[in-house]
């Protein structure tokens, strides 16, 4: 039976599924070796975050391994279109990734506004993941700003 706790954690699992797919796509869209390596690392980070959160949700209530949000699917389609028009431009890909990180941070922030609704033991993991998301965002932003 899904509870408020389950719904909140599932939202984070799904946003990490979105990040995983988004960074896999970004790695595929770029010919830049540095970015390909970085995006692969962030994709793995996303998968690990989702797996770490799954332990707080019963197996029956967990989202599918590949379940993503409609907005995540739209984001990846938009990224494909943008990459096509920009000729796999480094700045355009980094801007798209920053957009995705902003969305992920927002999701974490919304869940963290209701810490009392989270499963016992999950708060520290969620806070740590949010801190790591900020670092990822800042890395992407710095790379983007240095590309302009």
State pLDDT tens for residues 36-80: 999 999 999 999 999 999 998 766 566 656 655 555 555 555 455
- pLDDT tens-digit readout, 72-129: 555 555 455 455 445 567 888 888 888 888 889 999 999 998 877 788 889 999 999 9
If one counts the domains in the chain, the total is 1
How many residues are present in the chain?
148
Structural domain harbouring 99: 4-147
The closest of 85, 80, 48, 41 to 33, measured between CA atoms, is 41
Indicate the pTM of the whole model.
Answer: 0.81
CATH number reported for the structural domain that contains residue 24 in this entry? 1.20.1260.10
Report whether pLDDT(147) > 90: no
Do 2 and 56 contact (CB within 8 A), yes or no?
no
Q: Two tokens at 54?
A: 């799954």
What is the sign of the dihedral through the CA atoms of 28, 34, 39 and 45? positive
The closest of 102, 45, 39, 103 to 69, measured between CA atoms, is 103
Burial of 18 per CB tally in 10 Å (0-12, 13-18, 19+): buried
């Amino acid at each position: 039976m899904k509870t408020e706790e389950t719904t909140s954690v599932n939202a984070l699992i799904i946003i990490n599924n979105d990040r995983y797919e988004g960074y896999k796509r970004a790695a595929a869209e770029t010919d830049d070796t540095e970015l390909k390596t970085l995006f692969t690392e962030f994709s793995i980070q996303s998968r690990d975050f989702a797996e770490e959160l799954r332990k707080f949700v019963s197996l029956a209530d967990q989202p599918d391994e590949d379940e993503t949000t409609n907005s995540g699917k739209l984001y990846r389609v938009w990224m494909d279109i943008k990459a096509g028009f920009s000729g796999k431009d480094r700045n355009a890909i980094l801007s798209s990734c920053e957009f995705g990180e902003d969305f992920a941070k927002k999701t974490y922030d919304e869940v963290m506004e209701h810490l009392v609704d989270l499963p016992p033991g999950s708060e520290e993991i969620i806070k740590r993941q949010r801190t790591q998301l900020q670092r990822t965002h800042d890395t992407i932003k710095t790379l983007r700003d240095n590309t302009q």
